[in-house]
Amino acid sequence: MAQNKPAVVVTRRLPDVIETRMMELFDARLNLDDHAMSQSELIEAVKTAEVLVPTVTDRIDAGVLSQAGEKLRLIASFGTGVDHIDLKTARQRGITVTNTPGVLTEDTADMTMALILAVPRRLAEGERLIRSGDWTGWSPTSMLGHRIWGKRLGIVGMGRIGTAVARRARGFGLSIHYHNRRRVHAELEAELEATYWESLDQMLARMDIISVNCPHTPATYHLLSARRLKLLPPQAYIVNTSRGEVIDENALARMVEKGEIAGAGLDVFEHEPAVSPKLLQAENVVLLPHMGSATIEGRIAMGEKVIINIKTFVDGHTPPDRVVEAMF
């Protein structure tokens, strides 16, 4: 790879300060109108790029990577998840993949906690009532929701974000339970007063609120399947700020429609930007447009990580955020 101004193709608009720095350091080719690149455009990009900077909505699959030119040696993804990249094909072609872990933890945990509060307390319903002009004033039985203090929170995926959610939830009086591929350290369990469940099925059947915080991998696709969703008590709520593919969205929508679950707070969807019509019509579901990590500070921090990964790689060193294995 050329050590002087490597050709870097950026697939979407990034914060101005990040794009400016990229122009200074690299031969950066920016997406000025911020359109989502088609597969044919991505193929043209990988034919000429030495470094590709995609986002989580760009499908860098085998069909794209098979057309990559010999110069492409690094995919520096702008985002934490890497389920949009065919890691096996990239590895076979000698292409290093990096991501931007850690910098979105607090922002995503904040949004998760916001949904944990919003759904049981019917905040979105109340806001819609005010805007409708139909509110006639306070009454003792109007807009009754459920308190979360003293309830059990089951966290699916106790990584960085799951742990940050647990710390926030403890402050709201929630009892912390979790399922993870590996049990966390005893010190962390003690700090959070957390209960570990080796069996996801057993945990789901006993929780008041479920928070999905695991990445999307082949192992977690529809982890919350129709069968598992049926295990939830009818008074339970489910919150997802991870990836839509982790939940069988059609099954969840049917349960919401039939009143088999108390409600849901969803920031991600299985077929984004499409959302199940049943979820769109449900009053007891809070829907957000994949904005869990959408803070100015977070986006700039992501861009800085991308730049560091590229610069380190170009200088002949192993980038700090090289993707080795998807963790859950």
| pLDDT 10s digits, 248-274 | 999 999 999 999 999 999 999 999 999
Give the integer Cα–Cα distance in Å for 154 and 166: 9
Q: How confident is the model at residue 4 (pLDDT cuts 50, 70, 90)?
A: confident
Instruction: Supply angle C-alpha 212, 216, 219, rounded to 5.
Output: 100
Neighbours of 21 (CB within 10 A): 17
| Residue 111 contacts residue 267 (beta carbons within 8 Å) | yes
Token representation of residue 292 = 């869990």
pLDDT for 1 = 45
Which pLDDT does position 176 carry in this prediction?
98
H-run or E-run covering 296: helix 296-314
Catalytic residues: 243, 272, 290
H or E element, residue 63: helix 62-65
170 burial via Cβ count (<10 Å: 0-12, 13-18, 19+): middle
- Structural domains of the chain in order of their starting residue, each with its CATH number: 7-102+295-314 (3.40.50.720), 105-287 (3.40.50.720)
Helix (H, G, I), strand (E, B) or coil at 202: helix
Q: How confident is the model at residue 3 (pLDDT cuts 50, 70, 90)?
A: low
Residue 287 has a pLDDT of 98
pLDDT tens-place string over residues 29-81: 999 999 999 999 999 999 999 999 999 999 999 999 999 999 999 999 999 98
CB neighbour list of residue 55: distance below 8 Å, 6 or more residues apart:
11, 12, 77, 78, 79
Q: Looking at the predicted structure, is the pLDDT value of residue 327 above 90?
A: no
Task: Identify whether the C-beta of residue 322 lies closer than 8 Å to the C-beta of residue 97.
Answer: yes
Q: Given this model, what pLDDT does residue 247 score? A: 98
User: Nearest to residue 207, comparing CAs of 186, 176, 183?
Assistant: 176
**CA dist 213 → 61, 242, 290 (Å):** 24, 5, 14
pLDDT one-digit tens code per residue, 167-217: 999 999 999 999 999 999 999 999 999 999 999 999 999 999 999 999 999
**Separation between Cα atoms, residue 314 and residue 323, nearest integer Å:** 17
Mean pLDDT over each residue of the chain, to the nearest integer: 95
CA pair distance 211, 112, nearest whole angstrom: 8
Is the per-residue pLDDT at 324 higher than 80? no
Mean local confidence (pLDDT), 302-317: 97
Q: Which residues pair with 266 in a beta bridge?
A: 240, 287
**What's the pLDDT band for 126 if we cut at 50, 70, 90?**
very high
Q: What are phi and psi of 78, to 5 degrees?
A: -90, 85
| SS3 assignment, position 70 | coil
Predicted pLDDT at 328: 41
Question: Is 119's pLDDT higher than 80?
Answer: yes
pLDDT > 70: percent of the chain: 98
| Residue 127 host element (H or E) | helix 123-132
